[in-house]
Structure 1
Amino acid sequence: MPERRPVSAFLAEATVSTEIAELRPDYRALLVVAQGLTPGTSDEVSDALLSRAEAAATARLAANTVEELPHVAAWRDAYRAFGAKPQRTRNSLEALTRRAPSGLPRVNRLTDVYNAISVLHQLPIGGEDLDRYVGSPRLLRATGTEPFDTTADGADVIDHAEPREVVWCDDLGVTCRRWNWRQGRRTALGEDTTDAVFILDALEPMTEDALRAAATDLTDHLRRLGPDVHVTDRLLHASAPRPTDPPELS
């Protein structure tokens, strides 16, 4: 397991490439680190939260198609901008929203919480095990050589991002392909995860207040997963990859 770095350094060195600013200057990423979590399987509380998300998605889809939902539409446009076909590789928000009326997966307490918050607040969220990171998160356009630890036909494989694809990386390779399409196995949350980082992705028309509200909701639910959960965050703008650290969430 990689040597633990201070969370302050982990967040301070997270970056969004200037190429992302050129692609989508409205992009923001809110990184939320939660430490002191008690891992576990899905429970009644996470099940109830997922049920709320399923009901909310069902109500939204009674009035609009998935493609017409404002935040889904924004991400479909972003995917087209870097050459991805959103009908083939759906962003995580769209994939969860489509699935919600027939039932969201019950995976583990951490994954259940962030999937539910993603659907409820209508933004993509990724969750990663902090102890499995090497270096800090970087959002960039791939060269095509970055390794991606995944599975294919039930076997473990090392894949690679396509050239110019938008990816999240650390020092060892890709942690999430196509911005927020598929996360790698190496840094995935598990039932032994005690410290995690969550990446909340936002594009217009989502406001910064709405992004913060989603983070607060996420944090409130994470705090029940341990007697002394400590949460720190940092907001990154596409137009300013290294902003001043904001205060911790309280």
Structure 2
Amino acid sequence: MTTADLQTFLAGASVDDAVFALRPDYRALLIAVDGLGPAAAEGDAEELLVAAEAAAAAALEAGLVEELPHVAAWRDAYRAFGAKPQRTRNSAEALLRRAAKGLPRVNRLTDVYNAVSVRHQVPLGGEDLARYAGPPRLLRADGTETFETTVDGETVVEHPEPGEVVWCDDAGVTCRRWNWRQAPRTGLTPTTTSALFILDALDPLTDDQLDEAADELVSHLVRLGDDVRVERRVLRAPAGGAD
């Protein structure tokens, strides 16, 4: 994909007003990347995960995961659309809880973004951009949308609850409950060469802190190929404008 292709893809991304009505402080920082090498060094990802595990341990020395300010904000956001955060945890909280026993080792791209997510305590998702059907859209579901997932090795089609916050493309839901469970259809693989990363932010996380997390992610991504191209865009409530 060319730089123009990445820009066009991001230009089509949107967050529905109903989501901003739920959380006016929400910001989505989208990063579209192409030119990733399918055979990047795994050693770098392992070092990042080990550092992230240490960062999580340090962050939790003084309290519980749910008491971390950004985690607490996301738990409130989940309650606002009817989800129970103790049963369906946002992706950052889920990783922080796993860090003490060891973060998962999946593939180089997933490992890198998981490490950044834990270090910055920011929900962060990564998906194969080539598998998208149209641009990403965040909305509150009406319940008819389809979410194709896998249960016991079999493909199963689920539907989000009415009012649930979901990411979608033209083919269906790509991530349920804002940043809880991603669809296998757009999952990253060892052969992924173009990807979309979504960083989710609520107050009290600042724009500077969000940018810091994005900058760290990009600094690792550009090392994963000889000609990596990166474009980014921030989506925020209309009062603040969309960058």
User: Taking structure 2 as the reference length, what is the TM-score of the superposition?
Assistant: 0.95
Structure 1: stretches of 5+ with no match in the other structure: 245-250
Cα-Cα RMSD: 1.5
Inter-partner Cα distance in structure 1 for 2:217 and 2:40: 18
Letter in 2 for 1:69: L
Structure 1 residues 231, 237: CA separation in 2 closer, same or farther (over 3 Å shift)? same
Structure 1 residues 242, 172: CA separation in 2 closer, same or farther (over 3 Å shift)? farther
Inter-partner Cα distance in structure 2 for 1:204 and 1:57: 20
Alignment-derived partner of residue 203 in structure 1: 202
- SS in structure 2 opposite 1:224? coil
Letter in 1 for 2:64: T
Matched, 1:236 2:235: yes
Structure 1 residues 42, 88: CA separation in 2 closer, same or farther (over 3 Å shift)? farther
The answer as to whether partners of 1:42 and 1:108 remain within 8 angstroms in 2 is no
- SS in structure 1 opposite 2:111? helix
Inter-partner Cα distance in structure 2 for 1:81 and 1:14: 23
Alpha-carbon distance, 1:74 to partner:
0.5
Inter-partner Cα distance in structure 1 for 2:177 and 2:150: 16
Over residues 84-114 of structure 1, what are the superposed CA-to-partner deviations in whole Å (9 max), with x where a residue is unaligned? 0000000001000000111001111100000
The answer as to whether partners of 2:141 and 2:163 remain within 8 angstroms in 1 is yes
Q: How much identity, in percent, do the aligned residues show?
A: 64
The answer as to whether partners of 1:39 and 1:109 remain within 8 angstroms in 2 is no
Alpha-carbon distance, 1:19 to partner:
0.3
The answer as to whether partners of 2:31 and 2:196 remain within 8 angstroms in 1 is yes
Q: How does 1:1-250 map to 2 (within 5 A)?
A: 6-40=5-39, 43-239=42-238, 243-244=242-243
User: Taking structure 1 as the reference length, what is the TM-score of the superposition?
Assistant: 0.93
Structure 2: stretches of 5+ with no match in the other structure: none
The answer as to whether partners of 1:16 and 1:241 remain within 8 angstroms in 2 is no
Inter-partner Cα distance in structure 2 for 1:126 and 1:62: 26
Inter-partner Cα distance in structure 1 for 2:100 and 2:68: 15
Inter-partner Cα distance in structure 1 for 2:110 and 2:153: 21
The answer as to whether partners of 1:93 and 1:122 remain within 8 angstroms in 2 is yes
The answer as to whether partners of 1:32 and 1:198 remain within 8 angstroms in 2 is yes
- SS in structure 2 opposite 1:79? helix
Inter-partner Cα distance in structure 1 for 2:235 and 2:208: 14
Letter in 2 for 1:60: A
Structure 1 residues 161, 129: CA separation in 2 closer, same or farther (over 3 Å shift)? same
How many residues of Structure 1 are paired with residues of Structure 2 in the alignment? Answer: 240
Alignment-derived partner of residue 247 in structure 1: none
